[in-house]
Amino acid sequence: MIDIKINDELSINDENFMVIAGPCAVESEDQVIDIAKNLKKIGVNVLRGGAYKPRTCPDSFQGLGEEGLKLLVKAREETGMSIITEVMDTETLPLVEEYSDIIQIGSRNSQNFSLLKAVSKYNKPVLLKRGFGNTINELIGSSKYLSMNGNNKIILVERGIRTFETTTRFTLDVSAVPVLHEKTEYPVIIDPSHPAGVNRYVEPLAMAGAAAGSDGLIIEVHNNPGNALSDSAQQLSIPQFKNLYDKIKMITNMNNKNLV
């Protein structure tokens, strides 16, 4: 597996299982700093948070934009965590690249080939989510756009696909973990939050992903999930996340991986 260095002390590779956590969206300074401090205390080293949000309807909260990026940087300064945020378009890519340690490409943009080509020009770690209507081979195709200029710092994410099932928001395809490990050299991580859609399903999906041999998790955590401006139902509270983190430790110990 490719060893991807996130910062001087942090890598995702064969030995390390990386947990990324944080709110769906950056909402305010108090919100993101409070969440970051609590997560850091638990042991998390990478903070997620959307500044540009791909919402189904235009009247929903769209994110704080550049202000959100600045608040993430503030959280990094205060906690030492690395930060990851989603890029939605080529227009805002230079800004996102400047502020963020890892560039996230969301499910809806997984086959936005002009965006992928633009991101490929930077030599920065990229987290590429599987499109919810894409096959595993299509995800691999997208990863080839990202690596076309020599950047191989790519983390692949299974975050659920659309099936006939409606009791969950998406159907987590756990098979993607062994299949992608067989077909690529990239770390594969699971997002249990978006397929779950509700917080009570997040833990079993996260545990399944870790047990299946994923190289990490990306989980939505909020300090006040009930009042979150996006994905309210699926975000874990900080105590819920702490409880899950302790269980993940048991799986990573069993698999002889360092939890980073």
Interface with ligand PEP by CB under 6 A: which residues? 24, 50, 54, 106-108, 129, 159, 191, 194
Distance CA 47, CA 34 (A): 12
Could you tell which of ligand PEP, Mn ion, none binds residue 129, using a CB distance below 5 to 8 A set by kind?
A: ligand PEP
Looking at beta carbons only, is 86 or 257 nearer to ligand PEP? 86
Shortest Å, Cβ 231 to Mn ion: 4
Distance CA 106, CA 94 (A): 17
Cα 82 off chain centre by: 12
Could you tell which of Mn ion, ligand PEP, none binds residue 257, using a CB distance below 5 to 8 A set by kind?
A: none
Looking at beta carbons only, is 49 or 184 nearer to Mn ion? 49
Shortest Å, Cβ 15 to ligand PEP: 26
Contact pattern for Mn ion over residues 22 through 61, marking x by CB under 5 A: --x-------------------------------------
> Who contacts 23 (Cβ-Cβ below 8 Å, separation ≥6)?
31, 32, 35, 48, 49, 50, 220, 221, 222, 228, 235
Q: What are 127's strand-pairing partners? A: 104, 155
Is 172 an interacting residue with respect to Mn ion (CB under 5 A)? Answer: no
Distance CA 16, CA 3 (A): 10
Looking at beta carbons only, is 152 or 171 nearer to Mn ion? 171
Question: Encoding tokens for residue 9?
Answer: 């002390």
